[in-house]
Amino acid sequence: MSKVLITGGTGLIGSRLSSLLKAKGYEVIILTRNYNSKSSQDSFHWNIEEYSIDDSAFKNIDHILHLAGAGVADKRWSKKRKKEILTSRVASTNLLYDTIKILKTPLKSFIAASAIGYYGSTTTDKIFIETDQPSNDFLGNVCKLWERAIRQFENLKIRTVVLRTGIVLSKDGGALEKMKTPIITPIGNGKQHMPWIHIDDLCNLYINALEDNQYKGVYNAISPEHITNYSFSKILSEIYNKPFLTITTPKFIFKLIFGEMSTIMLNGSRISSHKLLQTGFKFKYEKLNNALKNLR
């Protein structure tokens, strides 16, 4: 069976993906910034700030799944934090590319995360598709530079896949845990859309992209269901038996608490998953109601 290297392998998505790959018989190793990683997988160290990496991690690997990146919604967007968000994505990708190029590692595929932030923090009637241009806002620029770094692998004749991911729903943490407040209310006017995906669907998508050579280029990794923040909040309250207040939370409160980062909470447009569905990929959780019931 193939050998897979995962960056971000100890994170929410990487941990689940590692388990699923091992269950299928893959040999999985991870790159970590923490020497004391408690991961059960074989771990190798890298330091993005120092642009250093353990070359032995690349011995006999067949695929790289690149998930590493500082959490966009973990902290307020100070000047320093913005730099961390960008560097953790672009510099890490460049480091992987330079290493693969120097070592002449014959990769079968390089599959990397990106984000629907590519299309910008905006609420419009438009349904965005993969060929649309990136936004000029902060996240749009981050994703543009991120994906430019990813596409370098095409120069090495390596099959390259980019998965623009929305809100990942998991019972082990992440966005869903933050949403399950004692009283659930819509954010802002509640009309912004919330493109989402169940963590198991996302992990299965990574595995499909690894195993199926038809996957090339960019795909929107989100559920086919278009749902507004208001509807999302209402379904969430019903599934978790929490009070739901129809009175929306004023935008200024989020702007006061989260600063510029509030734009990703207050805005959101519909994103198309048509291209992904054309590959034959089958979502296990197409509807939010079923996804949340599974994650209770």
Condensed to tens digits (0 to 9), the pLDDT of residues 235-294 reads 999 999 999 998 877 888 888 888 888 999 999 999 999 999 999 999 999 999 999 999
Residue of 295, 294, 275, 283 whose CA lies nearest to 225: 283
Residue 187 has phi, psi (to 5 degrees) of: -95, 135
The residues near 210 (Cβ < 8 Å, ≥ 6 apart) are 2, 4, 63, 65, 109, 111
Residue at token pair 């960056």: 7
Three-state secondary structure call for residue 274: helix
Q: How many residues does the chain have?
A: 296
Condensed to tens digits (0 to 9), the pLDDT of residues 149-173 reads 999 999 999 999 999 999 999 999 8
Condensed to tens digits (0 to 9), the pLDDT of residues 56-81 reads 999 999 999 999 999 998 899 999 99
Higher confidence at residue 41 or residue 290?
A: 290
The correct answer on CATH 3.40.50.720 for the domain covering 3-170+195-222+271-281 is yes
The Cβ-side half-sphere exposure at 144, using a 13 Å CA radius, reads: 13
Contact 228, 193 (CB under 8 A): yes
For range 172-199, the mean pLDDT: 94
State the average pLDDT for the chain.
94
| Token pair belonging to 196 | 């989402």
Sorted by where each begins, the domain ranges of the chain are 3-170+195-222+271-281
Sign (positive or negative) of CA dihedral 2, 172, 218, 42: negative
What's at 182, amino acid-wise? P
Judge whether residue 40 has pLDDT over 50.
no
